[in-house]
Amino acid sequence: MVVVDKPKATEKFLESFSKEIDSYDSSGSNCAFFDLGNSWGIKCYHDKDDFECSYEVQKYLSKKNLAPRVLESFEVKIDEYEIVYCYFTEVAEGLVGYGYENSHAFADDDYDGVDSEGEFDYDMVYFHRDEREEYNEKFKEATRHWYMDNHVGNYGWIERNGNKILVSIDFDSCWDAYKSLKKDKKIK
């Protein structure tokens, strides 16, 4: 059984959430991520539909070792008009580093994803390409759809039974998979 100290986790989350975006440990276009330590974090969404898609698809794929594990979800009422939708997630080691700063400053001998201005290149096609293609095949087998947000910033490593396996860490663009899984009654 996985145990997360929810009172401490939620307290840290709420403290960070009230600060500016720089307090997030990582973020994407639809999600903010807070690292709680001990291999767990919280993903937060302002949009309920993005939250539901991400949470349900990640929960389903985690059972197939294609995504980090998830625990329960919860809502945080910010004020009378704003609710943030959240869930606890296992933390994966980012394929290109961890968090926005590291992924943009990542440097490795076989890394060719920085453009001439030193900016992170999301269109890298060769970095861990074979592993990402293998993942995409497994994703399609599990959902009947391709993984649509296939840039290296959306992948990470998790350990299972002593082996590192590649997983996706971003699911809010998996609408086709979400709809199919829902239609097939594999998710809520």
**Strand 93-94 relative to strand 70-77, pairing:** unpaired
Predicted pLDDT of residue 120: 53
- The answer to whether residue 106 scores a pLDDT higher than 50 is no
Predicted pLDDT of residue 26: 55
Residue 188 forms part of a structural domain: no
Averaged pLDDT score across all residues of the chain: 76
Task: Say what the pTM is.
Answer: 0.76
Residue 80 forms part of a structural domain: yes
Number of domains in the chain: 1
**Domain range for 56:** 6-183
**Strand 26-27 relative to strand 32-37, pairing:** antiparallel
Highest mean pLDDT among 73-87, 124-138, 173-187: 173-187
pLDDT (mean) for 132-147: 91
Q: What are phi and psi of 122, to 5 degrees?
A: -75, -10
Residue 1 forms part of a structural domain: no
